[in-house]
Amino acid sequence: MTETTESLDAPAGRAAATQQPLFEAKGVSKAYGHVNALMDVDFEVRPNEVVGLLGDNGAGKSTLIKILSGVVDPDKGTFLRDGAPVDIGSRRKSEAAGIQTIYQDIALVRSMSIMRNIYAGREPLGLLGFMRMREMRETAMKILDEYVRIAGITSPDLLVEELSGGQAQAVAIARAVHFKRDILLLDEPTSALSIRETEKVLTIMRDLAESGVSCVFVTHNLYHAFRVCDRFAIMSHGQNVQSVPKSETTLNELTDVIMTH
């Protein structure tokens, strides 16, 4: 992984727009009681892109991410993977459709070790459902070393509650990046991170897009979004507002769109 950041700018005018979307969500609605979190929202992820999912608080970004991850059931909506309908009704099904997620509120079990967290729900199994501990330990160490490399994490046996917020978030990111398939959803991944760690996450997103893993980047930080995203999908009050390629907009324009809706 390179430490340089100047390569973060997305190549303008990439061909992605003409290709078939990797993943599509159509007409997604979700209400919590009387509150309409999402109303007839369309969203798509194209191959080899980082798409910024932007909008103010309450726009429905997190709800959409949770639906795509399979942990929240939508009231309505259809989902297509490579143009074919796909069921993402549970975390497992969503994962089978190629989706990994890094959640806004760190989704690690604090009372468990890093290693047990990394493999929760996807343990490598041997005979009779017993875990292959050796393989888990070795891979956990490799994951920590490749993607995290954060001071203070000395062992995969450390409990998550012994880590700082940033360290824990880094572990959550490392886990998702390691198990990524085709699409990585990042719901405000950098909110708990230091500057250096944030840079690393931005670089990872760019690298992933180049290597064929599309990223959905939810953030309030438009500077970050503008640096890494190829396209911006803007939401407001549970509805679509705009989807615009980076080449056709500016940072000021984006800010205006979000502010005025």
**How many Å separate Cα 191 from the centre of its chain?**
13
Residue 259 to residue 206: CA distance in whole angstroms: 27
Among the residue ranges 52-60, 121-129, 222-230, 240-248, the one whose residues contact other proteins (CB under 8 A): 121-129
SS3 25: strand
Least CB distance to other proteins at residue 115 (A): 9
Residue 120 carries which side chain, given as an amino acid letter?
A
User: Rounded to whole angstroms, how far apart are CA atoms 234 and 231?
Assistant: 10
Cα–Cα dist 198/56, whole Å: 21
Say whether residue 232 binds other proteins (CB under 8 A): no
Q: Residue 164 or residue 239: which is nearer to other proteins going by CB?
A: 164
Distance CA 196, CA 190 (A): 10
Termini Cα distance of the chain: 39
Structure tokens at 136: 């888990």
Which whole-number Å values give the CA distances from 231 to 20, 25, 87, 92, 253, in the listed order? 15, 16, 26, 28, 13
Q: Specify the stretch interacting with other proteins by CB under 8 A; choose among 39-47, 79-87, 112-120, 226-234.
A: 112-120
In the range 4-33, which residues lie near other proteins by CB under 8 A?
none
Residue pair 176/184 in contact by the 8 Å Cβ criterion: yes
Which residue, 14 or 180, has its beta carbon nearer to other proteins? 180
Say which residues have a Cβ less than 8 Å from residue 170's Cβ, sequence separation at least 6.
Answer: 147, 148, 150, 153, 193, 197
* Rounded Cα–Cα distance for residues 143 and 64 (Å): 28
Specify whether the backbone of 98 is left (phi greater than 0), alpha (psi in -120 to 50) or beta.
Answer: left
Chain positions 53 to 92 lying near other proteins, rule: CB under 8 A, are 69, 71, 91-92
- Asked if 153 touches other proteins (CB under 8 A), the answer is yes
Nearer of residues 118 and 254 to other proteins, judged by Cβ: 118
Structure tokens at 79: 């989902």
Q: Which stretch binds other proteins (CB under 8 A): 14-22, 133-141, 192-200, 248-256?
A: 133-141
Q: How many residues bind other proteins (CB under 8 A)?
A: 50
- Using CB under 8 A, which of 48, 62, 63, 101 touches other proteins? 101
- The least CB distance from residue 210 to other proteins, in Å, is 9
Least Å from the CB of residue 51 to other proteins: 19
Residue 218 as a binder of other proteins (CB under 8 A): the answer is no
**Among the listed residues 10, 108, 170, 186, the single contact to other proteins using CB under 8 A:** 108
Nearer to other proteins, 17 or 134 (CB): 134
Among residue numbers 158 through 177, which ones bind other proteins (CB under 8 A)?
158-159, 161-162
Contact flag: residue 252 with other proteins (CB under 8 A):
no
* Contact residues: other proteins, CB under 8 A: 1-2, 69, 71, 91-92, 95, 101, 103, 106-112, 116-117, 119-123, 125, 128-131, 133, 137-138, 140-142, 144-146, 153-159, 161-162, 204, 207-208, 211
